[in-house]
Structure 1
């Protein structure tokens, strides 16, 4: 009888440990904002430095158009994923929200988002868990103290994050490689 109880307790312990591990992995990045980590600069699962093909697979846009900013040549995701294109701008339509990206040699170098409908705000979270229309206090809680009031800026040596604040809420954000 004691042996059976021991197995039950062991089973409960393993189940509890698995549940805690699963919950903690969904909580987002732990610790303070790391301005040198490129994966801190992203939204909806995509981040700076990521290959455009991977990003498109995650975002699943309704429509996407890419054009070289100098020559005006159209680009496909496949061409960019192979490393083509020095300065390609893309406009992605995700249902009714526009997400703008810049791509250099197949990698995301800029991600810009604004004009999100309030009912879609939770769908577009930064990789730290900040949603569009979250408060400026939530921005500080997740990213720490930034410079500026209406445009709050966080800088690392290779990357910059800019958050537009109006009425105490985050209304747009942009992540850029330097």
Structure 2
């Protein structure tokens, strides 16, 4: 009977450890930039291809306005989440920082960020942990070698990441679907 209880406890412990390691690995990026992983193209927990409703629930802007780029029609998050809108631009206000997004058929297709106050820089980290005003060396360490000098570009088959450097600091970035 004692062997059976010991075996049960060991089985539960093994299952717990397996689940803990599996769950912890989902939120951390791999050691090398993966240009085909859509989560690599995001900031503050939101990423390209994500449903706009889910993204808004994560980023919680203090204000958000969405407008179709052609018809100038206003859109709500709920309408976009249902797949409405072919080319909708959104301006999200996160305290005093503006984050621009483009939504196509309910999913984020572009994320743009610049003009962040230095004291707010750590709030806007990419999936790999790059913050606004990090150095060009930190960019290279986290993302590898990109093309360009003042505008460093990383490309996958479906997505592109652009980072703007000024005085060897990241001062803006943009993630786009192709």
Q: Which residue of 2 aligns with 1:167?
A: 167
Q: Are 1:141 and 2:137 an aligned pair?
A: no
Q: Which residue of 1 aligns with 2:72?
A: 72
Q: Which residue of 1 aligns with 2:98?
A: 98
Q: Secondary structure of 1:39's match? A: helix
Q: Secondary structure of 1:141's match? A: helix
Query: How far apart, CA to CA, are the structure 1 residues paired with 2:26 and 2:116?
Result: 24
How far did 1:25 drift?
4.6
Query: CA contact under 8 A between 1:36 and 1:157: conserved in structure 2?
Result: yes
Q: Which residue of 2 aligns with 1:3?
A: none
Give the gaps of 5 or more residues in structure 2.
1-9
Q: Which residue of 2 aligns with 1:154?
A: 154
How far did 1:168 drift?
0.6
1:41-56 paired onto structure 2 within 5 Å: 41-56=41-56
32-41 or 76-85: bigger deviation: 32-41
CA shift in 2, pair 1:27/1:137, >3 Å: farther
TM-score by length of 1: 0.86
TM-score by length of 2: 0.86
Q: Secondary structure of 1:116's match? A: coil
Q: Secondary structure of 1:31's match? A: coil
24-33 or 155-164: bigger deviation: 24-33
Q: Which residue of 2 aligns with 1:122?
A: 122
How far did 1:28 drift?
3.0
Q: Which residue of 2 aligns with 1:112?
A: 112
Q: Are 1:81 and 2:92 an aligned pair?
A: no
1:39-69 CA-to-partner distances (Å, cap 9, x unmatched) read: 1100000000000000000000000000000
Q: Secondary structure of 1:128's match? A: coil
How far did 1:31 drift?
1.8
Q: Are 1:58 and 2:49 an aligned pair?
A: no
Question: How many residues align structurally?
Answer: 163
Give the gaps of 5 or more residues in structure 1.
1-9
Query: CA contact under 8 A between 1:132 and 1:171: conserved in structure 2?
Result: yes
CA shift in 2, pair 1:47/1:27, >3 Å: closer
Q: Secondary structure of 1:154's match? A: strand
How far did 1:151 drift?
0.1
How far did 1:142 drift?
0.5
Query: How far apart, CA to CA, are the structure 1 residues paired with 2:123 and 2:157?
Result: 29
